[in-house]
A and B are shown apart, each in its own frame.
Chain A
Amino acid sequence: MDARLSAEQAELRDAAARLADDLGPHSVLDLSDAERQARLEKALAATGWRTLRSDGASGVEIALVAGELSRGLVDAPFLGRVLADALRPSAEPATIAVGGIAIDARDAVRALALDGTRLLSARVGPLASGVDLTRATGGLAGPFEPAGEISAAHAARWQALAIVVTTAEQLGAARGAHALALEYAKVRAQYGHVIGSYQAIAHLLAENLALLEGSESILRYAAWAVDERKPAEAINAARIAKAYVQVAARTVCETAIQVHGGIGNTWECLAHVFLRRVLVGGELFPVRLEEIDVGLPGFGAGSGVPLPAAGMARRARERIHDER
């Protein structure tokens, strides 16, 4: 596995970052700016990113876009759309339903769900604002109807993708929270110095960066595994990534609130908007530590996960075994 991004992937990530920075909310007040939201919706719709999967994009690419949009708190539908498209492309706007609720439901007409390998579909009913302030949820306006069948492999890879994309969103939100806290620590002064100059604050932010980098590494692997490993291994990789990232991301957001002090605990500070995304992301396709199978191999000798520069690495392993 070569964990580097290709030039095209890096461009895709940068484009998503630009869109998020340009049109995402920069304050809690911005969340209710309908004009900005309309411009964001128009721009996001034009990118075609909601149909990345049916256009042939890999798990890595979808995770990159999801991460950047989440870092910028993009409050136009993406998660539900991209996952619905990965189940079954459709001309009418569709999202997915989790636990009988249509997630990320703004403008969606139908919600898809998966029962084993059977696809189900229901009409989306009235919208409600949710815990995640950047998204609306929807009730279902009618019962689920059968909507066809997908292959077992498709269903399993979709499960892996769903876990990976929600994990990428958690990590992206944590990155956003970290950036916010870092910026604040460089301007907020107490006792005559900016608070970031004190180890008490600096060490918290340093720990956050380590958590974010560890998260990036495990997520990058899981996103790669969506397409490159056997479906069961892809799901296992996704679960392990989420088990790590959800803890890391929540910690980073909690720290961001702490670094902001009293202000961090007010509605007007964006820190809780990031945290809410992390919390809700953990409840979609949840992973509990107790359910992680420690016996399943992930990496290491015999795991089948190639090292970077795979040809070279394979020859080296063969040599070691020949000479043993």
Chain B
Amino acid sequence: MMSGDEYWSRYGEWHRALYDAGFFGLSWPREYGGQDLPPVYDVILDEELAAAGAPPRPSLGYLVTGLGHHGSAELRQRFLPGMINGTERWCQGFSEPGAGSDLAALTTTAVADGEDYVINGHKIWTSYSDVADWCLLLARTDPDAPRHKGISAFVISMHQPGVEQRPLTMISGISTEFGQVLFDGARVPARNMVGAPGDGWKLAMTVVAHEREPSTLGFTARYGRTVASLAKKAKAGGEPAPAELAWAHVQTQMLYAHVRRRLSEQLDGVTHSSDGSLDKLLMTWTEQAVGHAALAVAGTSDDRALEAYMYSRAQSVMGGTSQIQKNIIAGRILGLGG
């Protein structure tokens, strides 16, 4: 397995290799380069990739879904094929330093100027932004509208003056995943607006809900592989396996079963909007249990173990913090109004 930065540096190459071999975009529409197969195919691919020790499948489903659901026919035709086949790279410009969990507080502005909009603002946690060709960007087009209603979504080119990259280094040492982008007078043609002015919030909700769905729980098999390799290491060391390892194994097995149950339910056409928050919590607990197992078995002197542990801490933040997931579960599923 390659380290985090090595993975990020060869991510585009890997995406294209998978696509060219017919293994990427399996469950996406054929007209945009996908194969129209049920989501179970993605899970099979994830498991086979993990079993072979290959890197994970690039995760783009949320962007494909966002643009697919909300973009015009022109935008879908222009952008989805390149997004899926990997010839164009993408990032997501949602979060800002002042708008994390409270995404609707975003202050990046888009001001109409002739045929274009001019973008000013500061985006953060924009994974892959340093290598991205395009960004799916949320910006405020109507400062006077109620805050959820004044936001619009754009497809903006990252190759232009007025786009500055300032990536942050993660506590795991990975130096490229946490992108940060400053937009200073960057321009985007008005025809690249996704949906109508003010539709940005709807698109954002589609994207974040999809980020939490079981089809994106593709890391399960990776946790399984990590647990298996830790088990080997523990055995070679001659010490009894620590309880943390057994617990990580139990959690991983639970997550495998959970993904299968969700996939089964999808066969009935059941969609899991808010239930995605339950899935995300279960995935987070599993990844963090695996992180603890890595520490217990290999310790901080093992670079890979330490990286796995440190990286696992981000899981309860990325894609919506665990606290936000619990708010969603409490409010929308349990009926505990806040």
A contacts, CB < 8 Å to B: 1-4, 182, 185-186, 196-197, 199, 201-203, 205-207, 209-210, 213-218, 220-221, 240, 243-244, 289-290, 292, 294-295, 298-302, 305, 307-309, 312-313, 316-317, 320-321, 323-324
Contact = CB atoms under 8 A, between A and B. Distances in A.
Contacts of B247: 289
B253 A240 contact: yes
A294 B249 contact: yes
B246 A299 contact: no
Instruction: Summarize B's interface: helix, strand, loop or mixed.
Output: helix
A249 to B, nearest CB: 13
Interface stretch (B128-136, B259-267, B312-320): B259-267
A-B complex: 8 closest residue pairs judged by Cβ atoms: A299-B256, A202-B330, A301-B51, A206-B329, A217-B258, A206-B326, A3-B264, A196-B336
Contacts of A201: 336
Contacts of A294: 227-228, 231, 234, 241, 245-246, 249
Given A4-B268, A199-B323, 13 more contacts: A1-B260, A196-B330, A202-B327, A202-B331, A203-B323, A209-B278, A214-B258, A289-B247, A289-B250, A290-B243, A295-B228, A307-B43, A313-B44
A36 to B, nearest CB: 30
Most buried by A among B43, B221, B234, B260: B260
A17 B281 CA distance: 28
Given A209-B329, A221-B260, A294-B227, A4 B267 contact: yes
Interface in B256-307: 256-258, 260-261, 263-268, 275, 278, 281-282, 285
A214 B38 CA distance: 23
Contacts of B253: 218, 240, 244, 298-299
Interface residues of B, number: 64
Contacts of B327: 199, 202-203, 206
Contacts of A206: 281, 325-327, 329-330, 333-334
Contacts of A205: 330, 334, 336
Contacts, number: 173
Contacts of B258: 213-214, 217-218
A220 B23 contact: no
B254 interface: yes
Interface in B198-257: 220-221, 224, 227-228, 231, 234-235, 240-241, 243, 245-247, 249-251, 253-257
B45 interface: yes
A207 B235 CA distance: 34
A217 B263 CA distance: 11
Max count, chain A CB within 10 A of own CB: residue among B50, B251, B323: B251
Contacts of B246: 243, 289-290, 292, 294
Contact of A307 (B240, B263, B278): B263
A217 B38 contact: no
B250 A308 contact: no
B48 A301 contact: yes
A201 B334 CA distance: 12
B334 A244 contact: no
A320 B44 contact: yes
25 contacts: A3-B265, A186-B336, A202-B331, A206-B334, A213-B258, A213-B278, A213-B282, A214-B255, A217-B254, A240-B250, A244-B250, A289-B243, A289-B247, A292-B249, A295-B231, A299-B253, A300-B50, A300-B221, A308-B40, A309-B38, A312-B40, A316-B44, A316-B45, A317-B48, A320-B48
A210 B329 contact: yes
Contacts of B266: 308
Contacts of B245: 294
A161 B220 CA distance: 27
Given A220-B257, A299-B224, A308 B267 contact: yes
Most central of B22, B40, B258 by chain A CB within 10 Å: B258
